[in-house]
Amino acid sequence: MPAPQTMQSAAPPHIAISRVSKSFASRNGTVNALTDINLSIEKGEFISILGPSGCGKSTLLMLLSGLLPVTKGRIDVDKKHIGGPNADAGIVFQQDVLLEWRTALQNILIQAEIRGSDMTEARERAHTLLKMVSLEDFEGSFPKELSGGMRQRVSICRALLHKPPLLLMDEPFGALDAMTRDQLQIDLLRLCTESDMTVFFITHSITEAIFLSDRVVVMSPRPGRIERIIDIDLPRPRRLAMREDPKFLQYTRELTAIFKGLGVFREEY
């Protein structure tokens, strides 16, 4: 018998972070890195975590990856409790961690070698990805022959080789110059259009968070809590010129005011 209308519940979120806290034991006592984090993420969403240094952003990403256990609460992905490393996720860090003795292509293919995937297919996919980030002429280059932006593009391709349903990125563009960073943001959004991958993106740049995201999660300084979640209602594809749109600037003002209220920005002279 079909369930009555009122009994039907909405589909569970792709990722459910429920009442999660994380503390670390240190020489000076316990550090509470995250307190009572609740967040639901839908499949295909681009979520940015925005907050000052030390507010627990990286810790939250490590909990999602399953590489760190939660102290309290739980995290479910597709209704499955994360109890250990989530091998499906792709991860990109601020440092590209490329192997210097392998070419760009060979660095990307590591992912397939580790997973024991079909290498012909992997090679084809690697070529497609390299082309999408305009590196098709550099597949035979070694990391030391590439610029910082090119190296980070290679590491993004490596993370995407196995078509991960979830991409975790921890300040991936934080070490790049401003112009390279702009281009990498576009490159990333282009890569996102080929699948319904969910992206969990950490940044401390207000502009970057607005430009990329469907939602921006604002974290307060230590101990990290979710202060606000802001929907970014801007059309896609996103263009660099949108950063001057009145609506974009309104989001910038709103987020700046929140951080001012949290004492992250102080403007007395």
Q: Please report, as ranges, the residues that interact with ligand ADP according to CB under 6 A.
A: 24, 26, 31, 33, 51, 53-59, 222
Name the binder of 33 from Mg ion, ligand ADP, none, CB < 5-8 A by kind. ligand ADP
Cβ proximity to Mg ion, 58 vs 220, nearer residue: 58
Q: Is residue 187 within 8 Å of residue 132, measured between CB atoms?
A: yes
**Least CB distance to Mg ion at residue 167 (A):** 17
Give dist(CA 96, CA 38) in Å, integer: 30
Residue 216 phi/psi, 5° resolution? -115, 125
Shortest gap between Cβ of 62 and Mg ion (angstroms)? Answer: 9
Vertex 159: Cα angle to 155 and 164 (nearest 5): 165
Say whether 252 sits in a helix, a strand or coil: helix
Q: How far apart are CA 46 and CA 168, in angstroms?
A: 10
Cα–Cα distance, 67 to 71 (Å, whole number): 13
Only segment of 33-41, 54-62, 140-148, 193-201 that touches Mg ion (CB under 5 A): 54-62
Contact partner, 26, from Mg ion, ligand ADP, none, Cβ < 5-8 Å per class: ligand ADP
Residues 96, 98, 100, 105, CA torsion sign: negative
Residues 59-98 that bind Mg ion (CB under 5 A): none
- Compare residues 212 and 219 and give the one whose CB is closer to Mg ion: 219
Interaction partner, residue 265 (ligand ADP, Mg ion, none; CB < 5-8 Å by kind) = none
Query: Which span (27-35, 49-57, 79-87, 139-147) binds Mg ion, by CB under 5 A?
Result: 49-57
Rounded Cα gap, residues 58 and 80, in angstroms? 22
Would you count residue 58 as binding Mg ion (CB under 5 A)? yes
Residues near Mg ion (CB under 5 A) are: 57-58
